Amino acid sequence: MKENLFGVPIDRDQGKLGEQVYQILLSEIRQQRWGEGEKLPAYAELTESSCVSRSVLQAVFKRLANEGFVTTVPKKGIFLKKGACSNVRTAGTVALLITDGVGHDLDPYATTSIFGRLLLGRIKAIASEHGLLISLHHIGKNGELFPEIEEHGQNPLRGIISCSPAAAIVEIRDRLSQDYPVVYLGLEDPFSFPRITADIFYAGYLLAKHLLDLGHTKIGVLSDPSWNRNHFHQAWQGHLQALAEYGATPDTDLYAFLQDPAPMTMARIKSFLETFSEQTAIITYHASVTETVADVAELLGIRIPEDLSVASLQPGPAKCCEKWFAGTSYPWSEVLCKCFELLDLQNADMGVPNVLYTPGMHEFDTFSTRSI
């Protein structure tokens, strides 16, 4: 089972399990998951959800108690101590604007247009290390924002990280009392400035090369038609570059299929898998398509990865197990730290650069590809 606590992965290979758990709990306190005087989850609940032993949790809560954050009431449980939030010094709040992958329940597995899954628990932990709080906001189809950004209060707004282009958040910014610094995280708008973006050509190349290295030569590609066509073509050109280096021939029928603007429904993906049945691997360019491929494969009795390898431009956790789909990945700690740095530079009226990140392959704890 993949271990995590409040959505933040726990890596036993890194050692110091107690320190990891302590930092996660401290981050949740800083992010104000619980109000002062509120009861925290019981040992049994935390152990069941995270697979962390009771003894480790007891040691962590003892440390938090010694530092003045929590108090234990016999036969009642552990509570956030009154005045605990005054022990947490913050530099303010950064609003994170998400355009898709999040409902009004603010799902902790949101996605971006290119960087893939946003593990919000991890993002909050990174922000806490910088003395920042993260407030998450969902931009609806008509530009509405849920919840609205709170500018003032105990932790005033310091800046905005937006996964939506500048033009799409004009009205949102107009509703604010001042012009806060904004960093754009994504690909949709090359004119948003400053922006942190990704090398989509290399991402397409890397996915194809990964499968070619495993011996696959019949490789399908599936993309959500709603995805920006320019981004698709960049990823596709990277795909073709990898095929050319291996002497493999691109499938013209496959490219024709991808030009059809019809939605990637289960029926359409079923038709794809039946039409291109000789393919031993599939690359998907969108998280939702990856999940639908897995659902259709299960219905058709196609085993992943025994019968079909799957790699994704936006890898994430699979429904069938606690592991992840293989795919491209980015150094999230570095990306988020760069966002905070760019916000600081804007606040100081200094020159702000655009930043391009080159992806790597996420292969740790994955299950969806194999050699043939």
Q: Give φ, ψ of 307 to 5 degrees.
A: -100, -25
Give burial (CB, 10 Å; 0-12/13-18/19+) of 86: exposed
**Contact assessment for residue 307 and residue 341, using Cβ atoms and an 8 Å cutoff:** no
**CA–CA distance, 48 with 43 (Å, rounded to integer):** 8
Closest CA to 281 of 370, 341, 348: 370
Closest CA to 183 of 354, 357, 356, 349: 354
**CA–CA distance, 321 with 368 (Å, rounded to integer):** 11
pLDDT mean for each 10 residues of the chain (372 residues): 68 68 83 86 88 89 88 91 66 82 45 64 76 84 84 86 85 91 80 84 95 95 85 93 93 89 93 93 90 93 94 79 81 82 73 82 81 92
DSSP 137-187: EEE-TTS-EESPPP-SSSS-EEEEEESS-GGGGHHHHHTSSS---EEEESS
**Contact assessment for residue 326 and residue 358, using Cβ atoms and an 8 Å cutoff:** no
Between CA 295 and CA 202, with CA 259 as vertex, the angle to 5 degrees is: 80
- 203: helix, coil or strand? helix
- What are the structure tokens assigned to 301, written together? 């009795």
**CA–CA distance, 10 with 33 (Å, rounded to integer):** 19
**CA–CA distance, 360 with 372 (Å, rounded to integer):** 22
Which domains, ranges and CATH numbers included, belong to the chain?
A: 4-87 (1.10.10.10), 92-198+331-360 (3.40.50.2300), 200-328 (3.40.50.2300)
- CB-CB neighbours of 127 under 10 Å: 25
Scanning the chain, the segments in alpha helix (DSSP H) are 17-30, 43-50, 54-66, 120-129, 170-174, 200-213, 229-245, 252-258, 266-275, 287-300, 332-347
pLDDT of residue 318: 73
**CA–CA distance, 226 with 251 (Å, rounded to integer):** 22
State how far the alpha carbon of 226 is from the alpha carbons of 41, 257, 289, 323, 362, in Å.
Answer: 41, 15, 11, 27, 25
pLDDT of residue 345: 77
**Contact assessment for residue 333 and residue 126, using Cβ atoms and an 8 Å cutoff:** yes
What is the side-by-side order of every strand in the sheet holding 326-329? 219-222, 281-284, 309-312, 326-329, 360-362
Tell me the helix, strand and coil percentages in the chain, rounded to 5. 35, 20, 40
